């Protein structure tokens, strides 16, 4: 029969092995995310000058069927353009993604973040993402139990399991508003999540 010291040593080894596996999974996930982020940056950088400018963004938004004006696209970039050079380089791109992803206050600008997030799941450059992946994002961000019935209705009759960017943004808006309704004292308004049926406003006011 094992002594208390042996049981403790076994428990320490098990805990150490568990921590090692969790660390490996986390590092693998982070590496996958970084590769995906680099892929999206390259996709948005249409002329290959290692930065995303208003022309790049307008081209991608047009492909996603979001007819933004030049001024509106400039505002999307301006929100995250830390050095105020009228474009977003790789460091700013990566920083805004991680900063907004980890934001718990809802105060970070999210217009460009949502474009990035959608494109990360549009791996074959088709302009659509899988509805199950969209729901997974919502579950991770708000909790499975907080899924709004209106979101469920959006996907109920979706036979091909594909959604466009305008629907993706509608889902984000519904869930953000639902979160504010459920916890109005602690969940602030989230910038860049307002939605209109007019596709030109799909990124928010």
Q: Whole-model pTM above 0.85?
A: no
Q: Which pLDDT band holds residue 182 (cuts at 50, 70, 90)?
A: low
Higher pLDDT, 88 or 177: 88
In tens, the pLDDT along 2-37 reads: 788 888 888 888 888 888 888 888 888 888 889 999
The answer to whether the beta carbons of residues 87 and 53 sit under 8 Å apart is yes
User: Length of the chain, please?
Assistant: 205
* Burial of 105 per CB tally in 10 Å (0-12, 13-18, 19+): exposed
**What is the distance in angstroms between the CA of the first residue and the CA of the last residue of the chain?**
68
Give the lowest-confidence range in 8-22, 32-46, 77-91: 8-22
| Two tokens, residue 155 | 């996907």
pLDDT at position 49: 96
Using alpha carbons, list the distances in angstroms from residue 110 to 4, 96, 156, 191, 205.
Answer: 53, 9, 27, 6, 11
Q: Compute CA 88 distance to the chain's CA centroid, rounded to the nearest angstrom.
A: 17
Question: DSSP secondary structure string, 146-204?
Answer: G--HHHHHHHHT-SS-EEEHHHHHHHHHHHHHHHHHHSTTT-PPPTT----SSGGGTT-
Helices 131-142, 165-182: inter-axial angle, 10-degree rounding:
20
Most confident segment among 102-111, 149-158, 170-179 = 102-111
Most confident segment among 3-7, 64-68, 179-183, 196-200 = 64-68
Higher pLDDT, 188 or 122: 122
127 sits in the region (left: phi over 0; alpha: psi -120 to 50; else beta) called left
Judge whether residue 187 has pLDDT over 60. Answer: no
């Amino acid at each position: 029969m094992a002594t208390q010291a042996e049981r403790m040593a076994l428990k320490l080894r098990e805990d150490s092995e568990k921590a090692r596996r969790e660390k490996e999974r986390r590092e693998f996930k982070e590496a996958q995310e970084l590769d995906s982020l680099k892929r999206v940056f390259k996709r948005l950088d249409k002329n290959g000058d290692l930065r995303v400018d208003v022309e790049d963004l307008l081209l991608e938004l047009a492909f996603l069927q979001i007819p933004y004006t030049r001024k509106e696209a400039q505002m999307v970039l301006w929100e995250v353009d830390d050095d105020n050079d009228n474009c977003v380089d790789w460091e700013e791109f990566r920083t805004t993604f991680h900063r907004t992803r980890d934001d718990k206050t809802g105060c970070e600008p999210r217009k460009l973040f949502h474009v990035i997030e959608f494109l990360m799941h549009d791996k074959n450059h088709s302009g659509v993402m899988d509805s199950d992946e969209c729901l997974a994002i919502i579950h991770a961000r708000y909790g499975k139990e907080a899924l709004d019935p209106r979101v469920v209705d959006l996907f109920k009759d979706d036979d091909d399991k594909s959604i466009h960017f305008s629907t993706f943004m509608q889902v984000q808006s519904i869930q953000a508003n639902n979160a504010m309704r459920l916890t109005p004292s602690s969940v602030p308004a989230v910038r860049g999540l307002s939605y209109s049926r007019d596709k030109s406003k799909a990124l928010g006011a």
